[in-house]
Amino acid sequence: MSDLTLEDIARLAGVSRSTVSRVINNHPSVRGSVRTRVLEVIQNTGFHPNLAARALVSKCSGMIGLVVPRSVTSFFTDPYFPFLTQGIAQACNQHNLTLGFFLVSTKEDEDKIFPRVSRKGYLDGIIVQSGQIGEGLIERLNNAEIPLVIAGRPLQPEHLSYVDVDNVTAAAIAVSHLISLGHQRIATITGPVDNTVGIDRRAGYEQALAQHGIPMESELIVAGDFTETGGYAAMKRLLPARPRAVFAASDGMAIGAMRAIQSVGLRVPQDIAVVGFDDLPMPTPPTPLLTTMRQPIQGFGVRAVEVLIDLIENGNLPPRKVIMTAELIIRDSCGSAQTH
């Protein structure tokens, strides 16, 4: 098919190879008539420049990498991944970038993949989805001085660019809403505590209580694992403490908590109010509808690509921290939507 080269197009258009190159790269210094003629030939022949050649000489490939460090299981249970990927992929389409996808489940994978992602000249930049497993890789990549953006605040954010919401503030907003509804005995189901999201959302819970002078009670705090099953189990453990409201650090856990509450004959929100976090679309919306903090996961992807492009084009600037806003979506499970 298109085994054409610049030279071929040049010949067909009666110009030199350089001129064709200029046309392709939108250099202003080409006469209009010539440009039109060249463009026509390109159009007719279906020519596309060889990207490898271009990458070789220009030292940039038009390709960025997405590194997803994941245990095999969490890859599926967590809808975060497809959303983030979608945002990134769409942004890449928009900016005419090719997206390389690297799944890292083991240390072995990491070593194997590293040469493919580390070296400038093949990947122009990298987005790493944050997560426990990835922290070592992030370190290595950052040392390799390749433009790097983390999706989600990493454990050690100092010298890194990342995009995330402010999970502390967002969680505090959720809990404050519960407080404003008159609740005092507010429990929380936290995420795993080895991970920034879990840590921050718990901190936000504590912050909100402190701000309103509500004493913290350790029996009102139970750790979950972001899954529905985990939320169910956590709520069962919480029930004896008789909370009047619960803030779950993910929608999945909130749903699990609602099931646990309902399974012992209590009602949401009348007996216990529930607020979640994420606002991802559910295959089956729960009853009652969940009040939750919405975070723009696709937006993370889009912004991550934009920041990365900036980093690529403008070199070693100080790391950028992009904090997007989470939004409280009030539905029925918190008991404030009396209209329902």
Partner DNA sequence: GTGAAAGCGCTAACAG
Partner DNA sequence: CTGTTAGCGCTTTCAC
89/83 Cα distance (integer angstroms): 10
Task: Give me the phi and psi of 157, to 5 degrees please.
Answer: -80, -5
The item of DNA, a second copy, none sharing an interface with residue 15, based on CB under 5 to 8 Å by kind, is: DNA
Interface pick for DNA out of 22, 177, 183, 201 (rule CB under 7 A) = 22
In whole angstroms, how close is the CB of 84 to DNA at the nearest point?
Answer: 31
The type of residue at 82 is P
Q: Is 124 helix (H, G, I), strand (E, B) or coil?
A: coil
**H runs (alpha helix) in 212-288:** 228-238, 251-263
Decide: is 252 part of the binding site for a second copy (CB under 8 A): yes
**From residue 318, how far is each of 88, 147, 307 by CA, in Å?**
22, 11, 12
The region of 36-44, 68-76, 127-135, 159-167 touching a second copy under the rule CB under 8 A is 68-76
Question: What is the C-alpha to C-alpha distance for residues 253 and 312, in angstroms, rounded to an integer?
Answer: 39
Work out whether 25 is an interface residue with DNA (CB under 7 A).
yes
Indicate whether 57 belongs to the interface with DNA (CB under 7 A): yes
The Cα 276–Cα 269 span in angstroms is 13
Nearer to a second copy, 162 or 226 (CB): 226
109 is in the binding site of which of DNA, a second copy, none (Cβ under 5 to 8 A by kind)? a second copy
Instruction: Give the Cα separation of 194 and 209 in Å (integer).
Output: 22
The residue among 14 and 82 lying less far from a second copy, judged by its C-beta, is 82
20-53 residues labelled b (16+ CB within 10 A) or e (exposed): bbbbbeeeeebeeebbebbeebbeeeebebeeee
Does 39 engage in binding with DNA (CB under 7 A)?
A: no
Q: Which is nearer to DNA, 30 or 238 (CB)?
A: 30
- Within 210-239, the residues that bind a second copy by CB under 8 A are 227-229, 232
- List the one residue from 45, 105, 132, 207 that touches a second copy (CB under 8 A): 105
Smallest distance from the beta carbon of 121 to DNA, in angstroms?
A: 7
Choose, by CB under 7 A, the member of 11, 39, 45, 54 that binds DNA: 54
Site residues for DNA, 116-145, by CB under 7 A, read none
β-pair type (186-190, 148-151)? unpaired
Binding mask 316-335 for a second copy (x = CB under 8 A): --------------------
Is 315 a residue that touches a second copy (CB under 8 A)?
A: no
Rounded to whole angstroms, the Cα distance separating 38 from 169 reads 56
Query: How many CA within 13 A on the CB side of residue 173?
Result: 19
Contact (Cβ atoms closer than 8 angstroms) between residue 242 and residue 221 = no
Task: Give the number of residues in contact with a second copy, rule: CB under 8 A.
Answer: 57
Please name which of 298, 306, 304, 303 lies closest in space to residue 278, comparing C-alpha atoms.
298
Nearest residue to 182 (alpha-carbon basis) of 241, 242, 235, 244:
244
**By the rule CB under 7 A, 93 interacts with DNA:** no
Query: Residues 89, 168, 209, 290: which binds a second copy (CB under 8 A)?
Result: 89
Positions that interact with a second copy (CB under 8 A): 1-3, 48, 50-53, 55-56, 61, 63, 66, 72, 75-77, 79, 81-83, 85-86, 89-90, 93, 96, 98-103, 105, 109, 112-113, 115-116, 118-122, 144-145, 227-229, 232, 252, 256, 259, 280-281, 283-284
Positions that interact with DNA (CB under 7 A): 3, 5-7, 14-19, 21-22, 24-25, 28-31, 34-35, 49-50, 53-54, 56-58
